[in-house]
Amino acid sequence: MYADLHWHLERGRIDREYALRFLERGLQSGIQFFGVTEHTHHFRQFQPLYEPVLRDETLLGERQRAWYQAHFHEDVERYIELVLRLKGEGWPIALGLEVCFFPETVALAKKLLASYPWDYLVGSVHWIDGWGFDFRFNLPEWKHREIDVTYRRYFALLQEAARSGLFDVIAHPDSLKAYGHRPTQEPLALYHQVADTFAECDVATEVNTGLIYRYPIGRACPEPALLRSFAQSGVPITTVSDAHEPNDIGRALETAQKLAREAGYTSFVTFAQRRRISHSFE
């Protein structure tokens, strides 16, 4: 039994024809539960969440601002109407949203998100104090960063996201490694701390295969030791491909399940109306 609860329409159109390319491909791959999680940066309603970045007047900020100004063109209402239509047609799809986490805009995010009928919300840390670390054009910034200090800050932000109360799932919980930048030694104590925080806050996390095929690291997210910490702390998981193209939906989900089983998991979760539902891998 497979579920894919994190994929995106943003490289195509937010319409039924394009969404069906994902769903039909997913069915062929054996997926039984779908959850679409378009990024907040795709929708003009959520542009205020990015003010900490858009106000940055540094050279780094200018590059990032230019990228974001090419987005924010879609209407979230259109996205929601599409997913509700697909549900009404009988497709096993949940309405999700991937929300960039900024500590400065938590209260605003709560307000902006509250009026929509989400099945689940996914929080993601793509920014460390104004630096969008997974932009390829920002890779030179690593020359100015001490890697272990950066990882400590990243994991602190993950925990802030969990404590915010905004999210049902925290996404790709060690995606800082995407371009091959890894701690000098595996931070096992930090792993346990993060896992315990997620458990205390009752949030799930992902086994995300997107880093296997979309980034140079070529490894699933999280690392096996971090995934074992999540399992030991009782943190539920979703399994996700993070597909940005229809042909990638469900990609390497068998690897995600294998890693989850090896870490001690026997089940995954899906969502409906902000309620978590557990399913056995069998």
Question: Residue 98 phi/psi, 5° resolution?
Answer: -95, 120
CATH number, domain with residue 171: 3.20.20.140
∠8-99-40 over CA atoms, to 5°?
Answer: 60
**Alpha carbon distance 121, 5 (integer Å):** 11
Other C-beta atoms closer than 10 Å to the C-beta of 36 total 27
Contacts 24+ apart (CB under 8 A), 64-71: 64/132, 64/135, 64/138, 67/132, 67/135, 67/137, 68/41, 71/41, 71/42
Give me the number of domains the chain comprises.
Answer: 1
Which residue type is seen at 222? P
Report how far apart, in Å, the C-alpha atoms of 92 and of each of 23, 85, 89, 212 are.
Answer: 9, 11, 9, 26
Task: For residue 155, list its beta bridge partners.
Answer: none
pLDDT in tens, the chain (282 residues): 899 999 999 899 999 999 999 999 999 999 999 999 999 999 999 999 998 887 777 767 788 888 877 777 899 999 999 999 999 999 999 999 999 999 999 999 999 999 999 999 999 999 999 899 998 989 999 999 999 999 999 999 999 999 999 999 999 999 999 999 999 999 999 999 999 999 999 999 999 999 999 999 999 999 999 999 999 999 999 999 999 999 999 999 999 999 999 999 999 999 999 999 999 997
Domain holding 184, by residue range, is 2-280
Sign (positive/negative) of CA torsion 39, 42, 43, 49?
positive
**Alpha carbon distance 199, 193 (integer Å):** 10
Q: Which helix (H) or strand (E) holds 231?
A: helix 224-233
Q: pTM score, two decimals?
A: 0.96
**DSSP secondary structure, 54-108, as one string:** HT--SHHHHHHHHHHHT---B-HHHHHHHHHHHHHTT--EEEEEEEE--GGGHHH
